[in-house]
Amino acid sequence: MEFLGNEMLTVKDGKLKIDGHDAGELAKMYETPLYVMSETQTVKNFERYVESFKEYSEKTGKETIFSFAYKANTNLALTKLLSKLGCGADIVSAGELYIAKISNVPSEKIVFNGNCKLKEEIKMGIETKIRAFNVDSISDLILINETAKEMGKIANVAFRVNPNVDPKTHPKISTGMKKNKFGLDIESGIALQTIKMAEKMENVKIVGIHCHIGSQLTEISPFVEETRKIMDFVVLLKNEGININDVNLGGGLGIPYDKQKVIPVQKDLAKAILSVIYEYESKIELPNLILEPGRSIVATSGVLLGTVKHIKDTPVAKWIMIDAGMNDMMRPAIYEAYHEITSCTLRSEKEVVSIAGGLCESSDVFGKDRELSKIEVNDTIAILDVGAYGISMANNYNSRGKPAMVLTSEKEVSIIRERETLADLISKDIVPNHLL
């Protein structure tokens, strides 16, 4: 059995192994539901970005910065691991900035995104001396400038532009088309108008242009179109007397959720993007390059383990009920997202089954009509590629605690998130005196 993109997964003697550790034994030792994150896979995924893009800095002398999209997974062990590898942070809240700071991410590698930044978040970013706030609207720019003025500081700003590029991905994770809520429209002139406003402001410094067209992109052509439109805009700005130091092309590279589908990888992305950027060498001074990968660094590193509690035959399906639910991993319920699923005990006999959680929602289903190895009660089921937007979207629906998480390497297994207890569920609730 081959798990495309999941090099940490192997099968030996009919048992699924994660970094060499028996998945079923991990489930017994740490209980389920359980997130398992591979340190080995995470490092490999990040280092492929570094290796794929290293020629840009070598050729141009400019910086190449990878700022991990914290929305994908903010577990402290992972953010500290990536920080040690030299990775920055793409953040969208005070909470994510707080985590970046305690993960020792250098301030010059932190970029602040979001279409509705709050004043307190802006103050925190200015105090941290982050590389840039990616401005999403005129009012966003005004608030950043006013906040910096009150503090007696200068805030670095880049401008998130909307290039109207179809990312050819799920509509709910498309971000760079006119109909999306993000960014300053290039074609109508709003982006240029906003940047010219910033030129006249005393408490902001223009440092870059930013763009992000969507998530889980499985084709290279949208990245090529995005890069060309951004570089054309940088040339236009130069002709207006505005020089841009940083070009941030965002993230969005997909991963092979469907193991039958081969999709572009980091080296393909680098080749395509850099070939476009080099075309502009005679027109402008080439900029520093920033990328915001998230899913493509941690998604394939994660597995969600659940234990089979019940098996139910109906006239239309054979249901496998596991103790993990949509509160633990929301993607299938929100996006109808596909995730490979396998039993951790692989038997020769096959059967077609549907895998569901135990929550009070019909959408609490991880996969329908899957051909899997025959499954028995108390078996461990593995849902693959959950390292991104898994634990970060987990919640307490049906008053269920969020799951524990472990980090594996070939050498060891470490607990990196405690399982929430029943007491944790009400730890923030307050009962007024008249109800005591």
**Within a domain: residue 56?**
no
Residues 214 and 304 placed together within one structural domain of the fold: no
Distance CA 234, CA 145 (A): 22
Same domain, 69 and 173: yes
Say how far apart CA 73 and CA 388 lie, in whole Å.
6
152 known member of a binding site: no
Domain residue limits at 99: 62-293
Residues 83 and 167 in one domain: yes
Please pick, among 87, 211, 344, 360, the residue that the annotation labels catalytic: 360
Based on the fold, state whether residues 133 and 198 are members of the same structural domain.
Answer: yes
pTM of the model: 0.94
- Residues 15 and 69 both lie in one domain: no
335 DSSP assignment: H
Domain boundary among 239, 267, 293: 293
Grouping H, G, I as helix, E, B as strand and the rest as coil, residue 120 is: helix
- Known binding residue 361? Answer is yes
C-alpha distances in Å from residue 431, one per residue of 130, 147, 397, 425, 436: 40, 37, 20, 14, 7
Does residue 33 have a cis peptide bond before it, meaning omega lies within 30 degrees of 0?
yes
pLDDT-flagged residues of the chain (< 50): 170, 173-174, 176-177
- How many domains is the chain partitioned into structurally? 2
Question: In this structure, what are the phi and psi dihedrals at residue 250, rounded to the nearest 5 degrees?
Answer: 70, -160
pLDDT in the model for residue 43? 98
Is 195 a member of any domain?
Answer: yes
Tokens of 271: 């080749």
Task: Please answer whether residues 177 and 211 qualify as being in contact, where contact means their C-beta atoms are separated by less than 8 angstroms.
Answer: no
Write down the pLDDT at residue 31.
98
d(CA 357, CA 365): 6
Does 389 count as an annotated binding residue? yes
Q: State which of 293, 314, 331 marks the end of a domain.
A: 293
3-state secondary structure of 384: strand
Q: Is residue 53 part of a domain?
A: no
- Looking at the structure, tell me whether residues 94 and 133 fall in a common domain: yes
- Identity at 123, one-letter amino acid code: K
The C-alpha atoms of residue 220 and residue 167 are separated, in whole angstroms, by 9
* DSSP secondary structure string for all residues of 128-180: HT-SEEEE-SHHHHHHHHHHHHHHT--EEEEEEEE------S-GGGB-SSTTS
- Please report whether residue 262 resides in a domain: yes
| Residues 311, 377 share a domain | yes
Residue 225: which of 165, 267, 170 has the closest Cα? 165
Q: Which residues of 84-93 are buried (b: 16+ CB within 10 A; e: fewer)?
A: ebebbbbbbb
* 305 within a domain of the structure (yes/no): yes
Q: Is 397 inside any structural domain?
A: yes
Does residue 175 share a domain with residue 261? yes
Would you say 256 is a known binding-site residue?
Answer: no
Of 266, 293, 320, the last residue of a domain is: 293
Going by C-alpha positions, the residue among 153, 151, 96, 144 that lies closest to residue 118 is 144
Closest among 177, 252, 254, 162 to 214, alpha carbons compared:
252
Q: Is 360 a catalytic residue?
A: yes
Q: Which residues contact 23 (CB under 8 A, 6 or more apart)?
A: 15, 16, 17, 36, 303, 305, 344, 380, 382
252 known ligand binder: yes
Tokens of 69: 């999209």
- Can you read off the two tokens belonging to residue 238? 């130069």
Q: Are residues 267 and 386 in the same domain?
A: no
pLDDT at 427: 97
Does any domain span residue 431? no
Output the pLDDT for position 177: 47
Claim to verify: residue 323 and residue 408 sit in the same structural domain: yes
Same domain, 88 and 183: yes
**Could you tell me the CATH number of the domain that includes residue 358?**
2.40.37.10
Domain assignment of residue 52, yes or no = no
Tell me: do 328 and 375 sit in the same domain. Answer: yes
Partnered with residue 135 across adjacent β-strands are 159
Is 335 annotated as ligand-binding?
Answer: yes
Q: What is the CATH number of the domain that holds 132?
A: 3.20.20.10
